[in-house]
Amino acid sequence: MTGRFTVVGIGPGDPELMTLRAARIIGASDVVAYHAGVKKKSHARRIADGVIPADAIEEELRYPVTTGTTDHPGGYVGAMADFYESCAVRLSDHLDAGRDVVLLSEGDPLFYGSSMYLHDRFKEIYPTEVVPGVPAFAAATAAISGSSGPLVRQTDVLTVLPGTLPEPELARRLADTEAAVIMKLGRTFPAVRSALAQAGRLEGAWYVERASQSEERWLPVAEVDPDSVPYFSLIVVPGDTANRPTADRLRARDAEPSGSAATHDGRTAELLVVGLGPGPDHWLTPEASAALGEVDHVVGYAPYVARVPPRAGLTRHASGNTVEVDRARVALDLAKAGERVAVVSGGDAGVFGMAAAVFEAAEDPAYAGVPIRVLPGVSAVQAVAARAGAPIGADFAVVSLSDRLKAWEVVERRLRAIADADLVLAIYNPASRSRTEQIATAHRVLLEHRKPETVVIVGRDIGRDEESLTVTTLADLDPETIDMKCLLIVGAESTRVSRAGVWTPRYVR
C-alpha cells in the first residue's frame, strides 16, 4: 500500500490562524515537506513549527531560483519544471514506501500556491487530499478593517488580480470591479500603483505587508515607498456598493433643485452619446476621444465601456445587452444631477445604437432640462464597405435582422421591398446564439427577388486582429457560417467585382 499525499494550508503567518484540522493532520504525518526560498529559511516551516512531530522526516524543497537569474538552458521555466520534477521524485519515494506525506502550503493551497504543481503530479497516482487554509488577503482585510471597513458588501464584485498583469489590463480590470485584491507585488509595485491611479482607485487602496505576522504593517498605497515592498505583501481595494456615486446620492450631495442641469463648475450639463467606431483606436474620432477625456461617467454595454481607457476621476457603468433604455435612464439621472456623462455605443451611436434609446428615455418630462448631444462615429457598414471597395457608392438600405423590438413579419416585408427596389442592402445583427433562423429565412427571401449571382460581402470582426472579408454570391452564401460578429452587404444588380474590389456604379440606367 502507498502512503497518502496531503497538501495542508497553514494560513498567512500567525500559527494561531492554522486550522485545527491542519494541526491534527500535520501532527500525525510521517513526512513533512515544505518549500524554502533561495538562501532563506522556510516560512512555512516556521508557521507549523509547533505541530510538526519530533520523529517526522522533514523534506526541505529549496527553490533553485526566485527573482534572480538562472543559467538553466530552459531559463526560469525550465529550471522550475526540473525542480518540481525532482521534488516529485523525492516525495514519491516516501509515498511508495507507505509513508504519509504532508506538504505545507502558506495561505490556502489552491490560491496561487506552489503546492499545486506537486498536487497535479500526484492526484492520479496516490490518494490525495487538500486541506484549505486562511488566505493572506483575508488576514490583510482584517488588519485594515478599522480603517477601511468591509472588503465587499451587498452586490459588490470582488476581483483577485496578479500584479504581474500588463499595466493597461490591470487598470481596465480595476476600473470594472467594485473591490479588488492584488497579489504578487515586489518589483511589480510601481506598475500596480500606476494602474490604480489610471483606474481612479488609488484613493482608498491599502497596502498590507506580512499580514498576521509580528512584522505586519499597513498604510495607504499612495504613501508606500516602492523600494521597500517585499514579496509577502498585497493590496486591498475595498468595495462598497452602499456608497457608490448613484444619481440620487449625487443630487442629495449637491442639493440641486429637481430638473436642474448645471454642472458643479457652473456650465450647462449635457448628456453625450458617443459612437466609438467598429473597434480599432484609430477609428475613434478626435471629437469623441476628446469628449471621453472630459466626462466623469461612461455608461454603456460592458464590451463598449471596456474600450474607454480607465483614468482617475472616471467612473464606468457597464451593463448587459438588451437593457438599453434602463442604461439610458442611468445616464440621464447622472446628467440631471450635474455630472458629465457619456453614453457609449459601438460603431455609430445613431445606427442601431444607443442614441435612439437615450432619446426614448428622455421623453420622460423628468429629463426636460437635460440637453443631449450625439457625436458620430464610423459605422460598421462603412468599415466593411471600405474593406471591400465601394459597394455602397450608390443608393443603399440598412436593415437589422433582430426581431427583439419588431415583429419578424415587418423585417421580411422590408427585405422584400428593398430587394424589389434593387437597392444595395447592409444587414446588421444577422444571427446570434439564440437567433439562427432569421438569416436562413432572409437568404431564402432575397433569392426569391434577386439573381443567384448577386454579389454578397461578409465582413467578420472588421478592424480587429481576427478580421476576415469574404466576397461570394447569393447562391453560394452559407447561412450557417454567419454569426453575430458578421455584417453582410448584398449588392444591387449593378454591383460589380473588379480587380480593384467590389463597387456599385453611381449611375442607374
Predicted confidence (pLDDT) per residue in 127-180, tens digit: 999 999 999 999 999 999 888 888 998 888 899 999 999 988 898 888 878 899
Q: Per mean pLDDT, which range of 113-127, 177-191, 312-326 is the poorest?
A: 312-326
pLDDT tens-digit series, residues 179-213: 999 999 988 999 999 999 888 788 889 999 999 99
pLDDT tens-digit series, residues 352-380: 999 999 999 999 999 998 999 999 999 99
The CA-atom distances, in angstroms, between 300 and each of 246, 261, 338, 362 are: 15, 21, 19, 16
Region 38-49: mean pLDDT is 92
Rounded CA gap, 139 and 209, in Å? 10
CA 185 to chain centroid, in Å, comes to 21
The CA-atom distances, in angstroms, between 143 and each of 11, 13, 219, 243 are: 14, 13, 10, 21
pLDDT tens-digit series, residues 416-463: 999 999 999 999 999 887 788 999 999 999 999 999 999 999 999 999
Domains and CATH numbers, the chain: 5-133 (3.40.1010.10), 137-243 (3.30.950.10), 247-375 (3.40.1010.10), 381-503 (3.30.950.10)
Local confidence band at 7 (pLDDT 50, 70, 90 cut-offs)? very high
Which DSSP letter does residue 102 get? E
pTM above 0.85, yes or no: no
pLDDT tens-digit series, residues 23-34: 999 999 999 999
Contact 169, 188 (CB under 8 A): no
Region 341-355: mean pLDDT is 95
Residues 6+ apart with CB under 8 A from 400: 352, 411, 427, 428, 429
